[in-house]
Homo-oligomer: A and B are copies of this chain.
């Protein structure tokens, strides 16, 4: 448990034992209990096929329940200024207790290689957010900058050893190698430009105003960077089901995707599992089994060798390291599908939340964000302020229009189509606008997008707050302190400051010289006396 030992010692908790003792005299190696059973599939443990194995793991976790590091409170207090910002002590301990420390180590090594320069929001399972300059660098997000939201460790699977199993309500259950899948004579390939987004994007806005559910797996306090766009190459899942399996049976209503990562929920252990409706796959040739991202093999952290790309849906459905697809009559009963990614009404919370009284978040609504400037910046300008950001809509809708307000949502200016990246069915648009600004002081800017179904965004965070803090799609708001150089008094003050080597920033730093001399002050106060004369 070396990864967590410093922490455990620091807070005085009991160190977890690195092996399990089933008798007083002999110590067994836990790796025998939960082996990597397929050669070339490192970091993958099969759970779903073995109910007994799951039961043993549950028993072990329960026995150690009181020893795990508590989930940190980060909603009612400011976020740490560290990097990584949050540490997944508890999730690491789960892995380590079951003899899976190699997964923890390989994951972080992979992150340092593949994602050296993004914001490490949570170190394990890895959640990383794209920086502002990277977001605005272009319509396509570079692989090394694309955000990551993983639910477990990163497996290390050899492409040659990999196979995909398809079963359930299909005519012919099959196993396919990567060689089969990538063979264009067997399956037609396609490339699609796709924006993927975590349904937690912009969660920090909900947290800051109205904290909500914590989770065993820390629900990352995402800013505006849990979104990214890439060109994926792969085969439409529909074609695989048709050509390899002879189509699905009439009972098939949902397709379940199982990933090679290990997932935990309330002392139970799973392989990652989610599902999407068969109708979504049947109608959308853009639901891909993909192996290429922006012309390169999928990075390991993005699902190498094979992942789903479900256009228009939350990222969680685009299962990574997918090794099994089940055609089901009902949605997956896996915890990620059944117990998470639920959208609750505002009357639901810790006091009454169930799984069935939230609706299952699949498609993302229209949303947008201002990326530059940042909240609480001081902007010195000549009568206009430039804002840049992104806008996206899921569910097959595209963004038709973006509007920005400089006064909290009263007056709106539309972005010129020339200042937006082009439309795609499944990708965001980056935008830029120069807003005329005469006023000085704190101004509240906000953005809203309109999509091809004429949907727009809720007005305030409060308008769509929900207990699990998902889908923060309300108008993104920032406060800017406007300093208008076209005003004479302002220009004069700026010059006085500059003459002393100072500036308007830091805003809260007092001006060191007198703001007005006695003569000027007395003249003004005699002209407009402090009190009435009679």
Contact = CB atoms under 8 A, between A and B. Distances in A.
A214 B508 contact: yes
Interface string A270-308: 000000010100000000000000000000000000000
Contact of A75 (B444, B508, B522): B508
B214 A510 contact: yes
A355 interface: yes
Given A76-B376, A78-B78, A509 B71 contact: yes
A113 to B, nearest CB: 32
Quickly give the copy total for this chain.
2
B490 A351 contact: yes
A350 interface: yes
A440 B352 contact: yes
A247 interface: no
Interface of A: 71, 73, 75-76, 78, 209-216, 253, 266, 277, 279, 330-331, 333, 338-339, 346-357, 359-360, 376, 439-442, 444, 462, 465, 467, 479, 481, 483-484, 487, 489-490, 493-494, 504, 506-516, 518, 520-522, 524-525, 528, 530-531
Contact of A346 (B356, B441, B504, B512): B441
Contacts of A212: 507-508
Given A76-B508, A352-B490, 12 more contacts: A78-B78, A209-B479, A210-B479, A212-B508, A213-B508, A214-B509, A339-B514, A346-B441, A350-B504, A350-B511, A356-B516, A356-B524
A510 B215 contact: yes
Given A440-B347, A515-B355, A277 B76 contact: no
Nearest to A513: B266
B215 A352 contact: no
18 contacts: A76-B376, A211-B376, A213-B510, A215-B510, A216-B510, A277-B531, A330-B522, A331-B525, A339-B515, A347-B439, A348-B441, A349-B481, A351-B489, A353-B515, A356-B520, A356-B528, A442-B462, A444-B462
Nearest to A522: B330
Nearest to A344: B441
Given A346-B441, A351-B483, A514-B266, A356 B279 contact: no
Contacts of A490: 351-352
Contact of A352 (B279, B360, B487, B510): B487
A351 B440 contact: yes
Contacts of A333: 518
Nearest to A342: B515
Nearest to A439: B347
Nearest to A488: B352
Centre residue among A266, A518, A522, A530 by max chain B CB count within 10 A: A530
A506 B73 contact: yes
Tell which of A277, A494, A511 has the most Cβ of chain B within 10 Å.
A511
